[in-house]
Structure 1
Amino acid sequence: MLDVLNTILPVFVVVGFGYLATSRGLFSESAVDGLMTFAQSFAIPALLFRAMSTLDLGSILTLPLFLTYYGGATASFLAALLGARFLLGRPWTDSIAIGFAGLFANGLLLGVPVTERAFGPDATAGNFGIIAVNSAYCYTIGITMMETVLARQSGGTMRNLPGRVLKAMFRNNMIIGILAGIAVNLTGLPIPEFFGDSLDLIARAALPAALFGLGGVLCNYRPEGDLRAIALIVVCSLLLHPATSWGIGLAVGLPTPAFRSAIVMAAMAPGVNTYIFANLYGVGKRVVASSILIGTALSLFTSWAWLALLH
């Protein structure tokens, strides 16, 4: 058990360093914004491009993997959505934002480095397979439901719904990096060695920079809002999602490497994208922000437990 903790602890220590440096004024908010802009707009897209351009897509983009991970994610979304609406009495718009927080796990910034630390650099193929469709899947569900509710409340139409969904996805540099990498992979387009080496230099900075920056971002969140709603999101994200994925993975016979990737990704706290979604519509922002902070802190211990089971 101690070996498992020592494996994943460095990931969370880097996040903690970012949090501490920002909270003590050693790293300004503008520096955090700059670091996250570099990580999310340049370094992570480079990492995703290189991963997607070199992976054996046929072996990782499999139905059992997607059923395992996204079956659990969908169950977590529905539980958080319906629980917020019918148990906590939240408005539908708030409930959708809360459900989205149960749907969108922080698989890229936390799931990938935890998997790499726990099972080795070659064990992350399944992680990137999940990441390849994650934003498309989650934003399609979240935006479609939110726009449907808003259209009904205002008596408007949903003619612009497909455009809003596509705009939300394709203005994201990470989606562009994924699609470009898949295009290179499928076409066999050669990448000049000097250009590939340059991308690798940028990509190697992606996860350390993003983890440190994530700590700075979390420093700006305060545990505010309905504690019951926060608890609902945390339970769905850290327990229901991985537990459901575990059951589905066993049922469909998912191979062990992909099974590990799916469970680790599912066991992560809500990602920063959940706050971006809530902020986009101006609903549930305090609850979602607090869930990211509290969930990330608790995921150190819950991911330890899930990894111990996987080992």
Structure 2
Amino acid sequence: MLPVFLVTFPFFALIAAGYGAARARVLPLDAIPGLNTFVLYFALPCMLLRFGAGTPIGQLLDGSVALVWGLSALAVVAGVVVFTRNERIGWNDGAFGALVAAFPNTGFMGVPLLVALLGAQAAGPMIITIAFDLVVTSSLCIALSRLDGVGGGAAHHGPRQAARQALRGVLVNPMPWSILLGVLLSAARWRLPGPVERTIAMLADAASPVALFTIGAVLARSALLAREHGASAAVAAAMGTKSAVPPEAPLADVLPVVAVKLLVHPMLVWALGQGAIALGLPLSSSALMVIVLVAALPSASNVSMLAERFGADNGRIARIILWTTVATFFSFPFAVGVLR
């Protein structure tokens, strides 16, 4: 267990550094979107492109990995939506709760961490999971979130419009395109010109530290905004006026989703993988270990931005992301030790 902690510690230390910098306002909160843009549109696509181009095409088109990961993601989404909806949580909040339970932080955290632990051969299965979550899981949850618009044409056009918005988001997101380009380069066995390859390598090398630092900063910003909203609500209550800020989500709406993300999701991937192997599907034990560890990662931090954009309870989503990130410092090394 100690060797795993020694590998994972720097990754969580960078997250803690970003959290501390933003919480102490050493890093201005207005600068965080710029960091996010650099990682999402420049560094991370270059890292995925490099891994994709250097991975054998067979690993990038592994249907068994896609099947196991896809079934587990859809099962988590369906289960969380069904079992968490109540008088406080409608379709909108339920759908984004399901997304935060099924969508791990693979791009910002998982790729550099698992490559450091398992080697470059871990990149292929991870790229498959990223592509599925970006295209299918996110689009499905956004469409489900629009089912709250009952009455008139909203119920009919809401999910359809949300699906179009989700598709538009995928098309303007550089990550799927970088994955596709990497697959094409791998299939054709082409190499980019030297100066271009070195430029991509420099941006790719920056992805890991900046992405981890940005995760911490985003979590700190969410915590600070939640505290400010809480203070505004308290002032409104003292003055006898109604606050526009929704009350903080109770633990009963947060802890079950945290448990699903860190316990149910990886165990479900492992069980489905074992079933696929028993049925004779060509799923290797190494690929199964990779996707189980991907499922054991904390929730993706960008779900918070999506929840805010679509009017869901972003405070609840941010708390789930924060709790899963903190808990993963202990749970992830344990998962690695068990699988090894």
Instruction: Please list, as runs of the form range in 1=range in 2, the aligned pairs for 1:119-268 lying within 5 A after superposition.
Output: 119-147=118-146, 149-150=147-148, 152-156=150-154, 157-158=156-157, 160=161, 162-187=163-188, 190-222=191-223, 224-253=248-277, 254-268=283-297
Partner of 1:269: helix, strand, or coil? coil
Give yes or no for contact 2:109–2:211 (8 Å, CA) kept in 1: no
- 1:290 equivalent in structure 2: 319
Q: 1:98 to 1:197 in 2, by over 3 A?
A: same
- 1:114 equivalent in structure 2: 113
Give the stretch that moved more between structures: 194-203 or 225-234. Answer: 225-234
Higher relative contact order (CA 8 A, sep 6+): 1
Indicate the structure (1 or 2) with the bigger Cα radius of gyration: 2
User: Residues of 1 paired with 2:139 and 2:178: CA distance?
Assistant: 19
**1:225-276 deviations in whole A, cap 9, x for unaligned?**
2211111210111011001001111111231221121011100111022112
Partner of 1:276: helix, strand, or coil? helix
Give the partner amino acid of 1:218. L
Q: 1:245 to 1:236 in 2, by over 3 A?
A: same
Give yes or no for contact 1:71–1:244 (8 Å, CA) kept in 2: no
Deviation at 1:213, TM superposition (A): 1.2
Give the partner amino acid of 1:242. P
Deviation at 1:216, TM superposition (A): 0.8
Give the partner amino acid of 1:182. V
| Structure 2: gaps of 5 or more residues | 227-247, 278-282
Give the partner amino acid of 2:318. A
CA RMSD of aligned residues (A): 2.0
Is residue 47 of structure 1 aligned with residue 71 of structure 2? Answer: no
Q: 1:153 to 1:126 in 2, by over 3 A?
A: same
Deviation at 1:286, TM superposition (A): 0.9
- 1:97 equivalent in structure 2: 96
User: TM-score by structure 2 length?
Assistant: 0.84
Give the partner amino acid of 2:45. P
Deviation at 1:89, TM superposition (A): 5.1
Give yes or no for contact 1:139–1:168 (8 Å, CA) kept in 2: no
Give yes or no for contact 2:52–2:124 (8 Å, CA) kept in 1: no
Deviation at 1:19, TM superposition (A): 0.9
Partner of 1:237: helix, strand, or coil? helix
Q: 1:189 to 1:114 in 2, by over 3 A?
A: closer
Deviation at 1:129, TM superposition (A): 2.4
Give the partner amino acid of 2:271. G
What's the % identity of the aligned pairs? 25
Give yes or no for contact 2:91–2:144 (8 Å, CA) kept in 1: no
Deviation at 1:197, TM superposition (A): 1.2
Is residue 305 of structure 1 aligned with residue 305 of structure 2? Answer: no
| Structure 1: gaps of 5 or more residues | none
User: Residues of 1 paired with 2:123 and 2:201: CA distance?
Assistant: 17
Between the two proteins, the alignment pairs up a number of residues equal to: 309
User: TM-score by structure 1 length?
Assistant: 0.91
**1:12-51 deviations in whole A, cap 9, x for unaligned?**
1111111112222322223333222211111111111222
- 2:13 equivalent in structure 1: 13
Q: 1:146 to 1:201 in 2, by over 3 A?
A: same
Give the partner amino acid of 1:271. A
User: Residues of 2 paired with 1:261 and 1:153: CA distance?
Assistant: 45
User: Residues of 1 paired with 2:90 and 2:220: CA distance?
Assistant: 28
Partner of 1:221: helix, strand, or coil? helix
